[in-house]
Structure 1
C-alpha cells in the first residue's frame, strides 16, 4: 500500500463515479471527521459544501447549467449568490468542473505557501492555452494594487487567447 497525501486521497475520492449522485452526508469531509474538524467547524462545513458542489457538478451532463459564481477570498463577506472559496486549489477544483460562470479573485489569502489569487489566473491561462478551456467571466477585487495589476494583466492575456 502506498502512502498518499491527504490531497491525493481527496482527489481520488472526487474522481469516483457518483451514480446516483451523493448527498452532503456522503462527502469525503463528512466521513473524515477528525481530519475535517482540525480545520475548525466553520471551515469543516465549508469543505463539506465545496466537496458536494464539485461532486454534483461532475455528475451533471451539462455542468455549465449550475452557473456558479465563485468568490475567492479569506476575509471579505461573500456577496449574495456567490460560492465562497478560501484557497486557489478550491477555486481550481470548481473551475475544472466547467460549472463556473463567473469568478472574482482576491490576491492575498493569508498563507502564500497555499497560494494566491494569481495562481488561479495562471491556471486559467494555462488551461486556455493548452487545453482549450473556456474561462468564466473574471474579476479581481484585491486591495493589493500591484498584485491586482498583475492579475488583471493576466486576465487580458487570457482574453487575447480566446
Structure 2
C-alpha cells in the first residue's frame, strides 16, 4: 500500500501544511480514487464557472464519495456554509448507517485546520 495523504478540498483557502489540495470537485475525485487518504477536509462552495454558474460543490463530492464507496480514515468539514455543512454531515452519517461507506470512517462536523485565505 502506498503512503497515506491528507486531502484539503477548497477552491480559495490556503492549503494547510501536511495536506494536498484539490481546488475542484474533479481534482478531488481524481485524488480520492488514486490515493489512500488519511484525513479528508471539505469546503462546500467550490466556485463558479465563467458564466457565474455554481460549479460542483462539496455536497456533490460527498454524494459521489458515498455512491462510489470511497475511503478516508477521517472526514472533517471546514466550510463556513452552515446549510452545506449540515447537508454534507447528515449525508455522510446516513451513508455510513446504510453501509454505503465504511463504518469505521470518523466523521466530524467541524474543521481540523484553521481556515486561512491569503489571496495568493
Shift of 1:113: 4.1
Residue matched to 1:11? none
Query: Higher helix fraction: Structure 1 or Structure 2?
Result: 1
Task: Give the 3-state SS of the residue equivalent to 1:156 in structure 2.
Answer: helix
Per-residue displacement from partner, 1:23-76 (whole Å, max 9, x unpaired)?
A: xxxxxxxxxxxxxxxxxxxxxxxxxxxxxxxxxxxxxxx2xx321111011121
Of 45, 59, 76, which aligns to 1:118? Answer: 59
What TM-score do you get using the length of structure 2 for normalisation? 0.71
Task: Give the 3-state SS of the residue equivalent to 1:75 in structure 2.
Answer: coil
Q: Is the CA contact (8 Å cut-off) linking 1:138 and 1:155 kept in structure 2?
A: no
Aligned equivalents of 1:144 and 1:113: distance in 2? 14
1:99 aligns with 2:40: no
1:73 aligns with 2:14: no
Task: Please show how residues 116-155 of structure 1 align to structure 2 within 5 Å.
Answer: 116-128=57-69, 133=70, 135-136=71-72, 137-155=74-92
Identify the structure with bigger relative contact order (alpha carbons < 8 Å, sequence gap 6+).
2
Shift of 1:114: 2.8
Q: CA-atom RMSD, angstroms?
A: 1.5
Aligned equivalents of 2:36 and 2:81: distance in 1? 28
Task: Give the 3-state SS of the residue equivalent to 2:94 in structure 1.
Answer: helix
Residue matched to 1:87? 24
What TM-score do you get using the length of structure 1 for normalisation? 0.54
Q: Is the CA contact (8 Å cut-off) linking 2:47 and 2:54 kept in structure 1?
A: no
Q: Which runs of 5+ in 2 are unaligned?
A: 104-120
Larger radius of gyration: 1
Q: Is the CA contact (8 Å cut-off) linking 1:71 and 1:84 kept in structure 2?
A: yes
